[in-house]
Amino acid sequence: MPLWSIFHSKDAFTNQEAKRAFSEDITKMYTENLGLPAFYVVVHFFHMPECDVWVGGGIKLDKPFVRVVIEHTAVNAPRDQGDEAYRTTCNWVDKAMKPHVTDKGYDSEYHISENDRRLWKMNGMIPPPWKSYAEKEWFNANKALPWLGDH
């Protein structure tokens, strides 16, 4: 799954509409570019009180600060394609963040961690292989379904 943990100060993502719009753009990034089912994409927003946002040893107060921690498990960048695959992934993230963070002038930072897909389960099932027929069924149903390869 892609999991986005978005830590933000008080003036960012102040309402449900802002969170919904950002979550939809994040989800589109994975459904359109990688063909992942939408329900794979999980986004958590964490409002951080001013006294808990420290940057460079000081409290960050001059403008909103957004720190995004992204975990990729369903699909990882292909290591055999060198830096280009990583640049492409970062470009997709930059595009998703642009209208919600960058264009608003917020300070921001993100990183992406890649996890071993073999250590991932949904509803107690090992998800079907990427781009497999079973995953396409999950995509169409937008939920986890029993499949023969589960163990």
Kindly tell me if the per-residue pLDDT of 128 is higher than 90.
yes
The tens digit of pLDDT for each residue in 45-73 reads 999 998 888 888 988 778 899 999 999 99
Kindly tell me if the per-residue pLDDT of 151 is higher than 60.
no
Q: What percent of the chain has pLDDT over 90?
A: 81
CATH 3.30.429.10 placement within the chain? 2-120
Q: Answer whether 0.85 is exceeded by the pTM.
A: yes
The tens digit of pLDDT for each residue in 110-120 reads 999 999 999 99
Q: Which CATH superfamily is domain 2-120 in?
A: Macrophage Migration Inhibitory Factor (3.30.429.10)
Q: What percent of the chain has pLDDT over 70?
A: 99
Tell me which long-range contacts 113-116 makes (C-beta under 8 A, separation of at least 24): 113/69, 113/70, 113/71, 113/72, 114/71, 114/72, 114/73, 114/76, 114/77, 115/71, 115/72, 115/73, 115/76, 116/73
